[in-house]
Amino acid sequence: MEQFTEAGILALLGSGEYLDVMNEVDTYLLEARSGAVKESRVALLPTASGLEANGPNYWNGLGSSHFRRLGVKEVRATRILDHQSANDPEQVALLEGSNLTYFSGGDPQHVIESMRDSEAWRRIEAAYRGGMSLAGCSAGAMAMGGFTLAIRDIRAGQEPRWSRALGLVPHIVVFPHFDRMLHWMGEELQKRIIASAPEGCVLVGIDENTALVRTYEPRGDRPATWRIMGQQSVTLFTADVDPRVFQAGAEIEL
């Protein structure tokens, strides 16, 4: 899969971080710039689980084992768990020179609050613009969009409440684990969410064990090109348009 973009490759995952089901995606992200997995350097950010007692240790351990199995020799497991540590020079230094930076799952709002206006996010965004691959899974994927929706509030019967995210892809709102969400989200609720969405945003439902990978940046009037990788599908929702479902292997403009 070729890619022509000055920025790095961006992968938004519905679930499956650090599991064998994502070997194809992760290998592609590693090879996109360095050309060889064994020469890659990976930085792990368990920020989304920073409020969980053992979450960071779990994700760092799982990620380190996963990428070493793929052949990566240098895996840096950071302890960037909140806004303070996202400005810690020792932790920020672990991000330098990475070919791939990876945000695992947890609480999307905690990722956003930790990263916003931090030195870590400034370094990550600059490195991504310069060609570093970047991946976010579940909460990590949600944080990359323009806005997030408080899913737990919705499930509790409250009205949709939108919050600004990190805005790396400002026109996208990510719904991870989307195949599971469909089990409890009926048609009426879908319509309410779509109607309340911020103007100009596309709602993107990414199934579990599935990744939406940006391979071409926008150029002039041409939208970015994305490929669906993994096992399942991606669903796009926009106002006044029927939902569009794309299976793994499809390429879409978004």
Q: Percent of the chain, pLDDT > 70?
A: 96
* Mean local confidence (pLDDT), 10-35: 92
Domains and CATH numbers, the chain: 10-253 (3.40.50.880)
Position 1 confidence tier, pLDDT thresholds 50, 70, 90: very low
Give the global pTM.
0.93
- Of 148, 68, 77, 74, the closest CA to residue 110 belongs to 148
For the beta carbon of residue 124, count every other beta carbon within 10 angstroms.
25
Dihedral over alpha carbons 212, 81, 147, 160 (to 10 degrees): 110
Q: Quickly tell me which residue has 């195949």 as its tokens.
A: 179
Q: Is the pLDDT of residue 203 over 60?
A: yes
Q: Which of the two residues, 21 and 160, has the higher pLDDT score?
A: 21
d(CA 245, CA 254): 13
pLDDT tens-place string over residues 124-163: 999 999 999 999 999 999 999 999 988 777 777 778 889 9
What letter represents residue 84's amino acid? Q
Q: How far is CA 201 from CA 82, 84, 147, 212, 216, in A?
A: 28, 31, 9, 16, 19
pLDDT at 142 (0 to 100):
97
pLDDT of residue 165: 98
Which residues, in sequence order, are bridge partners of residue 74? 41
At residue 34, the pLDDT reads 60
Q: How confident is the model at residue 65 (pLDDT cuts 50, 70, 90)?
A: very high
Nearest to 108 by CA among 60, 151, 76: 151
